Amino acid sequence: MDNTRWLSEEERDAWHHFVQAYHLLERQIEQQLQRDAGLSHAQYNVLVVLSEQPSRRMRMTELARRVVVSKSSLTYQIGKLEKAGLVRREPHESDERGILAVLTEAGQELLAATAPGHVGTVREYLVDLFTPEQFAQLGAFMKVVHEKADD
C-alpha cells in the first residue's frame, strides 16, 4: 500500500522555487568569490568559521561539521587553502590523533578583503529582497529546516 503524501500543486511550486533559488543564489556567490578572491564558497566558509574562533584555529572534525562537508571534502579544501598559504595544519596539543586547521595572517587578510563583496552579493540576491520582518521569518523557517536536517 502506498502511503506517500504527494505534494500539492502549491507545495510543489514552493519546493521548485526553493531549489531553483538556492542554486541560482549559490551560483552568484560562487562567481563573486571566484572573481574577487579565487575561492570557492566552501573555502570561504572555512576561512569564516576559523576567523570566528578566538585562536583562529579549530579541530578538523569540528570544522567539517560546522561547514557541513565530509571529512574527506574538508581535507581536500584545507589542502588547497594550505597551498595558497591561507591556512595551515597543526597537531592538536593534547590529542596526538587530532589535527587543527589554523587561519594564517594571509588568510585573515584575504577574508577581510573579500568579505565586503560577499556581503554585497548576499544582500543583493537575498537580504534586501525582503522587509526586515520577512527576513526574520525566513531565518526562523531555515532554523527549523537546519535543526531537522542536522538531527
CATH code, 9-149: 1.10.10.10
Residue 96 reports pLDDT greater than 90: no
- What is the per-residue pLDDT across 140-149, written as a single tens digit (0 to 9) for each? 999 999 999 9
Please report the pLDDT score of residue 1 as a whole number.
Answer: 61
Out of 28-32, 93-97, 126-130, least confident range: 93-97
What's the pLDDT tens digit per position in 54-90?
Answer: 899 999 999 999 999 989 999 999 999 999 999 999 9
Distances (CA, A) of 103 to 42, 56, 82, 99, 124: 15, 5, 9, 13, 28
